[in-house]
Structure 1
């Protein structure tokens, strides 16, 4: 019996012109994830431009051109695979003003590739991106020191940039085993699919080799079962007269028949009697699996409730501190009345205080801001009309995240993290703006 390769969600980030498009194109090319006619078209276009070989950035530049024209500024998702693992890559914009898109693309990433130009090293945008990744709790980082072939003393440049990056990431809370630096040339393919003879000073893995072997970690601090109920199934047929199942997707943890669980926010305890799927019953199901759970007792469960492991179930709350990335043109101000969507539950919410603002330019915190503007990140207090069963984001990314929605138009206005994620960055506090 053959098993499908596991999936790793990755994202790229970097400053403009650091070679991100070329790197993404190279990954697609070296994993044979593009069609032959696409390569032929790129090769022809490159020759017409006077280049000796194919400009792989052309494989992804179509969307980038749309971005630069202002048609849409969004995250592009690319898909590629090797014999041992498949990948979803979120290609985020490099411009400073598109922080919201970087947050969107990296929010589900298990690994982020940060690019720097070997000629420039760690710059302000690198520091900003690293801080955002730390805020989002990204488990693994790769520093791709690109254009290593364009510096005179590649070894000295690489070691200095790596040392600077290690100092930065450690100050933001990453350990040594979560971060790796790789010297690459995306244009020529050095250390992408295989190790390059052009970097004899580097004895680590090539980029794709590292992507294939890095631990597939979703959350650094795993929690027990978190199962947001999406739908209550009651067929009411002669064949299933008493069937009552709760359908949804396991957002965290695992569940087995016989496990003790608690239904939130009511707090009712029961056990799992059956796990149904379209392919038949299961004894155990894991994160990401869509299942229907049957409970041993006849309890009141509806859409929006959470079935959680009894041993570590979160305490439902209606008032909490959160970190929010604001996505809308209209700024967020205290007293705003919005909708909050957490898992499958949507409830009314009021924004209380705006406590601090994350200053990306100075990597510091500004106290008592008057508002949170487009692309800004701040710490706020939230009060909801109904209790939500949320974990702290630093404990679990899935059950600790939520959306803020415009109650009139239904547009998503902000992406939130339950808890004070900014405190984890150990940034300096600054006085409130005058």
Structure 2
């Protein structure tokens, strides 16, 4: 299952640490190479020697305890790992991950890690339900971290409630399920667009929309995790992005079209997640327009329909569009798919503020020529992105 995969296991201070010993045994049994990093608090429950015995690797516990002068251990582990598991994950380490705090061996190594991360929380139910913890969970999910939510069970406090770390067998099964498509786009060339385009009025003003780019970034990260060679053409540069992705910055719809056209012939998959402006000013003022009256008239003209233009030159590319609608969602989405000769379309209702522009969550209906073939739950954009990549891999 994990044949020759390098897995870094991060163990933090919870009574559930005893489960991590069983988790290590399962990972090793299934062919993984495992290295363990522990907090000082975790060592009060289980000694590093126990993990060292099971993994046959030295356990890293102190950022400043460098065994080899030729390497920096926490960077070495971060770069070595194919993916990382934090189990058990306390509220403390989740807060550190959400806010980029690096003050011990575990948090410092995690901050240096660019590959996939899986967090397995374990804590008291009141700590889990605390709004601060839930904000931190939402943040790390938005940062492309997979969270395996705790179960309802008998807690150390002596009563039954949600907060119990899921069992090691379930962790292995869920990881296998979530990353079962991790090689299904191996070697494929994928281009994703993200963000709202900016159409200049004058040197300091522009027309745009409320798109944050979060959905496009999530799709790009999911695609590279699935083994693809990924290019992201985007108007946004302030979101987490896997270091393996080639990011191309643009502003206007015209710039985005030129960038996509440059790579189109060599693509296997195009995912047009960007919110491209439908109109632009006919003329761009060379100098800032002064406020001289009560009204300012702008003459707007249509922008090019990038997907429609690309469809004229389509060969074997699998083309995916997005339909952000406020009414008649499925009808408008189906019309868009047919008009632009798309292979698949992702339709979402942006009138719903909980899943619309700038939200961390989304709900998407997947449409092809036969109609809707799947609808996601309301879930994080990271989770929706994984479902999009899985659907694409199955289609091609």
| TM-score using structure 1 length | 0.30
User: More strand per residue: 1 or 2?
Assistant: 1
| TM-score using structure 2 length | 0.32
User: More helix per residue: 1 or 2?
Assistant: 2
